[in-house]
Amino acid sequence: GYTLPALLGTQLANLSRRNILIIGDGSFQVTAQELSTILRQNLKPIIFLINNNGYTVERAIHGQNQPYNDIQMWDY
């Protein structure tokens, strides 16, 4: 859940740049509330949301078939 808040910070630090973020759905769900701040501040980042139904890093570490790596689908 680090990358969306990091995007917000870098956008606020340099308003003349337009940042690009590639983020998975698991990470996004941890810090989705930052999106409201991005909109309130009228920032214009480009965000690619990869919907892969869970935590890819956790799957790589603990195994593909562990049920706690799967997350509930959001209706984006």
Per-residue pLDDT tens digits for 32-56: 999 999 999 999 999 999 887 777 7
More confident residue, 69 or 21: 21
On the question of pLDDT at 9 being above 70, the answer is: yes
Residue range of the domain that includes 31: 3-53
Q: Which ranges of the chain does DSSP label H, i.e. alpha helix? A: 3-13, 25-30, 34-40, 56-62
Number of H helices, E strands in the chain: 4, 2
Pull the structure tokens for residue 54. 């869970």
The domain tally of the chain equals 1
Q: Is residue 19 part of a domain?
A: yes
Q: Is residue 42 part of a domain?
A: yes
Q: Is residue 22 part of a domain?
A: yes
pTM for the structure as a whole: 0.77
The whole-number pLDDT of residue 76 equals: 64
Q: Give the residue carrying structure tokens 């139904």.
A: 53
Q: Is residue 75 part of a domain?
A: no
Q: Is residue 14 part of a domain?
A: yes
Q: Is residue 72 part of a domain?
A: no
Decide if 26 contacts 56 (C-beta within 8 A): yes
